[in-house]
Structure 1
Amino acid sequence: MYNQHIKQKFSSFIKNANISNIIIVGSITLIGSCFGFFKEIIVAKNYGLSLLLDTYYIAILLPSFISNVFMSSYQSVFIPNYIAEKGEQKQIGSFQSTATIVTIAMSLFFLLISFLFTDYYLEYFFKGHEPEFYELIIEQFAYVAPCILFWGLTSIVNGLLNVDNEFKYSTLSAATTPICILICVIFLSDYFEELVLAIGTLIGSVLGFIFVLVVALNRRIIILSTPNFRSKNSLMMFKQLPAKTTASLLNGINPIVDQYFSAQLIVGSIAALNYGIKIPAFAIGIGAMALGNVLLPYFSKMAVFQKELLYTKLQKWLKYTFFLSLLVGIVGILLSFPIVKIVFERDAFVAEDTMIVSKIQQMYFIQIPFYLITIIMVRFLTSINKNNFMMFTSLISALLNLYLNYVLMKIFGVYGLALSTSIVALIISAVFYFYIKKLERNSNLQTNTNS
């Protein structure tokens, strides 16, 4: 009888649409991440902790920053307001056209800005290096900067696919870049030479956009008509964008700050920090992609059609996610050294590199449960257009990261930079949680008053 009850509960769990979507997205992300890890293994084998890797990571830092801050922010505010448009005014063709025009304009604007200010950016943040260092960055940057446009277009099409519950296709598009880099490194490194990583990144971004565009057109998800920049939900989207962008901007500063501090240390510190985050980012990436992509449309639809269930559902997601991800983090900390040794240690990546990277990796593993529940809370607040508070928490995060980086680097060196990231993740998750509990109390009070 008890076993039958357990089977029924498990069957009900698996058949839940959101759980199924999360499993699908997580599984596809896992497969894509495996390609990404294989790519990292090949890159580590060929380049170790080298000048080429340091310069590539710096070259791609600004385009990635722009994409993560501005284009991802725009996609986040697009989804809940697009759902509201579908549920209320139903002028989705007009809304899509408006969003697409803004996406292209933003992408081209930031592409121009990135080219104009790269020299000043390098001179200010990474001064004191040999001319070869800057030449390699500039050469690679010329190829990775155009990715901004393709990443922007891909993000808006992925938003449409996610709203339509086509999560598998939007998730698959993320695998194109590591696959293309891998192919270029294995087969075309002699031809592209020091530009191989940058060119592979550009090819991957173009193919990723083409893939989701073809899928969206075939499924007739894209419906364009005359844009209306003054519709109710368009105006709400534009109103939320500054706060969301500012929050993402402040969050996006943290990797740049980490790179800045690591650049003050010995050569190879930037690459060591990037290798150290790879495995934790693997776990975080799967969880964040699966939870974030599925739960933003889920909470957004609930905010329009089932608002009374919002906070109850959120608490369940937070509880289960925290305990499962805590287990992952503990296992990662305990197995950090053998993981790095198995995955990276070969040829140019020597035993001494393994020791350094495994310790950095342990510091990063600490953040996993706090980061993932924060992702859920951020998606929840975005779904109800509460982006102003995220701007405040992001400012706290940036200041904390700056202060802790300075203090902990003095004590622990490069390891302190990784530990700082995890401490900030813990503090910010607590701030979000107590704010949401306050919103819940106010919502209950308002409901009781209306009754």
Structure 2
Amino acid sequence: MSEAIMPPQHQIGTFRRVFHAATTVAVFSMAVKLAATAKEFVLAGVYGRSDAMDAYLIASMIPNLLINLFAESMNQALIPTLVRVRIQEGAEQAQKLLAHTMMRLVLLLVGASIAMALLAPVAFPLIASNFAASKLESSIHIFWMLLPVVLLAGVASNCTAVLNTMDRFAIPALAPALMPLGIIASALLFGRQYGVWAVICGNLLGVAAYATFMAWIMNGHGYRFALSRGGESQAAREVARQYGPVLLSSVVASGGLLADQAMAAMLPPGSVSALVYAGRFASVAVTLLAGALASALTPHFSVLVADADWSGCRRSLRHWAGITALVSVPIAIALIAGAPFLVRLTLQHGVFTARDTAAVAPVMAMYALQIPFFAVSRVYYRFVLAMRRTDLILYCGIINLVLDIVLNIVLMRWMGLAGIALATSLWTASTLAFLWYWSYRLLNQRLRVTAPIRKDGMDRRA
């Protein structure tokens, strides 16, 4: 159906459904981010910018990277195909696809965890080259303790993505709060007595509760939590083909994060903590805007592409990119202008002093510049994934990694730690330009192909 004759009530209904989903995710993600922010306040008050906290942050970075690499990449490759299979082949085939994919994911997560456990003594001296020997050893031991997080959080992430395809957004968006709440409770109750090891235990307990809860919720909403090594279907092979480029893209993106952390470790002590603390503020805005809209648009674009509704895709791209820009620009301006006040209000207590505030605030302002670029780019990113052009995501990631390293080298010499944050904001602008160009190029190609068909069909009806 062409855009001109699309029933207005259909357009309004689609807008309301996506808006309601995005709003739901945003509201509950805000609660999760508040819990995560409260966790940062507690950790800052109990541990400050100490060597123990530097060691924990470096160690916890690797499990988080592995989750993003393997679990999030699998979700992005799976969801468009899972939606198409459910629409075209039925719920039973979709369940088989999910069980097969879940088994692959579990094997990948376990294998990656074992490999990183063996490589840790070699990798950590490269990541944290400026750490003292005792601090480096502590980071490796903490990392080994945190490795179960990779499997548990990865499975929970997959369950969340599947629930989103069934328009279940509220509980999956709120459930991750179990992780920071576990850390808060352990740090407050046992932090003084057991040091950073209390945080590790809280982390493990929180993520175990999160994974168990999400698997139980998914079982109650139409998809069983099951693992299968049965024969591959055409759909499973399609997911595997899409997964490779997305995984490589995530590896490249993670390389940028590692480069940021490694270069921060080359600066004065406490720089890694300052970079992480400053990044949390922009992360809250990005999650609420980009994360919420991406969760709502992933199933939406997947359905539109499965139905070959290219006019609907064009409307959605223009509409949601515009709304995201209108919302995100004022938020970025407010965070840039209010950076010193926000850091002082939220972090300056306990052993976190005014000197620490002066170090973190400029970094926070530079990170906030990325918010509009990143948020709007997620609209185009989800469309490209729905089109199953994951190769473009890989090319974009390679460009970004090169930009990030070059900009880090140049800007950190000029601005110190704030230069690393500014480099991140600059390559997000490049991401937006790349994804915008390819989204409309792909869309226009499909519109040109279908236009003669529609015209011929209309002529015959006439």
State TM-score, norm by structure 1. 0.94
**Are 2:53 and 1:53 equivalent residues in the alignment?**
yes
CA shift, 1:223, in A, is 6.7
**Partner AA of 2:339 in structure 1:** S
Q: Specify the alignment match of 2:329 in structure 1.
A: 326
CA shift, 1:225, in A, is 8.5
SS in 1 for 2:23: helix
Aligned counterparts of 1:440 and 1:212: Cα–Cα separation in 2:
35
Q: Specify the alignment match of 2:366 in structure 1.
A: 363
**Are 2:80 and 1:80 equivalent residues in the alignment?**
yes
Q: Specify the alignment match of 2:306 in structure 1.
A: 304
- Bigger CA drift: 60-69 or 439-448? 439-448
CA shift, 1:355, in A, is 1.4
- Bigger CA drift: 436-445 or 413-422? 436-445
The CA RMSD measured in Å over matched residues stands at: 1.8
- The 1:229–1:253 alpha-carbon spacing in structure 2 relative to 1, beyond 3 Å, is farther
Aligned counterparts of 2:98 and 2:13: Cα–Cα separation in 1:
34
Q: How does 1:390-405 map to 2 (within 5 A)?
A: 390-405=393-408
CA shift, 1:230, in A, is 2.6
Q: Specify the alignment match of 2:440 in structure 1.
A: 437
Aligned counterparts of 2:83 and 2:13: Cα–Cα separation in 1:
26
Q: Kindly report structure 1 stretches of 4+ aligned residues shifted beyond 3 Å.
A: 12-15, 223-229
- Bigger CA drift: 215-224 or 275-284? 215-224
Name structure 1 gaps, 5 residues minimum: 1-8
Q: What is the aligned length?
A: 441
Q: Specify the alignment match of 1:70 in structure 2.
A: 70
- The 1:224–1:414 alpha-carbon spacing in structure 2 relative to 1, beyond 3 Å, is closer
Contact 2:54 2:270 in 1 (8 A): yes
Identity %: 21
Aligned counterparts of 1:229 and 1:292: Cα–Cα separation in 2:
32
Contact 1:13 1:19 in 2 (8 A): no
Q: Which deviations, in whole Å up to 9, do the C-alpha atoms of 1:46-73 show, x marking residues without a partner?
A: 1111111111111011111111111100
Q: Specify the alignment match of 1:240 in structure 2.
A: 242
Q: Specify the alignment match of 2:460 in structure 1.
A: none
Q: Specify the alignment match of 1:4 in structure 2.
A: none
- Bigger CA drift: 230-239 or 183-192? 183-192
Aligned counterparts of 2:367 and 2:80: Cα–Cα separation in 1:
31
Q: How does 1:50-449 map to 2 (within 5 A)?
A: 50-90=50-90, 91-222=93-224, 224=226, 228-305=230-307, 307-308=309-310, 309-449=312-452
- Bigger CA drift: 178-187 or 123-132? 123-132
**Partner AA of 1:165 in structure 2:** D
SS in 1 for 2:67: helix
**Partner AA of 1:19 in structure 2:** F
**Partner AA of 2:81 in structure 1:** N
Aligned counterparts of 2:196 and 2:30: Cα–Cα separation in 1:
29
Contact 1:78 1:159 in 2 (8 A): no
**Partner AA of 1:331 in structure 2:** A
Contact 2:46 2:191 in 1 (8 A): no
Aligned counterparts of 2:411 and 2:16: Cα–Cα separation in 1:
44
CA shift, 1:222, in A, is 1.6
Name structure 2 gaps, 5 residues minimum: 1-8, 456-462
- Bigger CA drift: 65-74 or 441-450? 441-450
Q: Which deviations, in whole Å up to 9, do the C-alpha atoms of 1:256-308 show, x marking residues without a partner?
A: 10001011110000011111111111111112221111111111011112522
Q: Specify the alignment match of 1:20 in structure 2.
A: 20
Q: Which deviations, in whole Å up to 9, do the C-alpha atoms of 1:90-141 show, x marking residues without a partner?
A: 2122112101111111111011111010011012232343222122212211
Contact 1:250 1:395 in 2 (8 A): yes
Contact 2:242 2:388 in 1 (8 A): yes
Q: Which deviations, in whole Å up to 9, do the C-alpha atoms of 1:12-36 show, x marking residues without a partner?
A: 6998111111111111111111111
Aligned counterparts of 1:182 and 1:125: Cα–Cα separation in 2:
27
Aligned counterparts of 2:165 and 2:451: Cα–Cα separation in 1:
33
- Bigger CA drift: 131-140 or 217-226? 217-226
Contact 2:53 2:196 in 1 (8 A): no
